[in-house]
Amino acid sequence: MQPILTEAQRTKADVFVAFSYPPDTFAITEQARTRQLQPEGVLHRGRHRVPGVQGQVRRRDRGRRWESAGSITSTQAYKDYLKRHAEANGGREPDRWASPVTYASLQMLQQAIERVGKLDRAAVIKELHDGSFDTIVGKVQVKDGLRMDGWQVGQWQGGEFYGLEPASKQGAKPVLFPKPEWKKQ
C-alpha cells in the first residue's frame, strides 16, 4: 500500500478512493492515518458485495479513529439490535454488515410464514418475493431475489456508522465533508 499512499500524499490528492476487501481496507486506512495522509474525502467500497469499512469494524475497535471514512442503517430497531447482541455476547457488538442483514432475513422469513399461516414452502417463497417486510434494517422488498433499497454509501460519524445514500431514505445523514483529521490512537 505504501507506493499508492506515497503518491496520493505527494500529489496532495483531494479525495482518496479504494475498492478493496476488508483486510486491505483496514491496512490502507491505518497506514493513511499513521502517515497523516489528509485528503478532504476518503471513500472505501467493498468489491463484489463485500463490505468496505463497516464490515468487521466495531465501534469500540476502530470507529472512533475512522471518523468520516466511507453501507448501514440507523433505525431505532437496528440500534436496539446492536444493544441486545452486545448484552447477549459479553459486550461484543456484531459486525456492521452481515449480522444485521442475516437477522433481517430471518425476520422476513418469520413474517412470511406468519402471513401464509403454515409451513408451505412454495407459498412462503412467493410471499418473500412479493411481500414487504419490517426489519431492523428498515422496510425490505426484494426484486428477482435481491434487496433493491439498501444503503449504497455510509460514513463513520461520532463513532457510529450511518447511511448517507440514498439521501431520501429514512435515517440518512448528511455527508461529513471535508473529513476531520485522523485521530491519534
pLDDT in tens, 26-76: 788 888 888 888 888 888 776 545 455 554 454 444 444 444 444 355 678
Radius of gyration of the chain from its Cα atoms, rounded to whole angstroms: 19
In the prediction, which pLDDT does 120 show? 97
Domains of the chain: 1-72+151-185 (no CATH), 74-150 (3.40.50.2300)
Burial class (CB in 10 A: 0-12, 13-18, 19+), 154: buried
User: Comparing C-alpha atoms, which of 18, 13, 20 is closest to residue 38?
Assistant: 13
In the prediction, which pLDDT does 73 show? 53
The pLDDT mean for the chain works out to 80
pLDDT above 90 coverage of the chain, percent: 26
Show the DSSP H helices in the chain as ranges.
Answer: 2-11, 22-35, 76-88, 98-116, 121-130
* d(C-alpha 26, C-alpha 23), whole Å: 5
In the prediction, which pLDDT does 182 show? 75
In the prediction, which pLDDT does 149 show? 74
Burial class (CB in 10 A: 0-12, 13-18, 19+), 89: exposed
pLDDT in tens, 122-140: 999 999 999 999 998 888 8
In the prediction, which pLDDT does 107 show? 97
* d(C-alpha 150, C-alpha 173), whole Å: 14
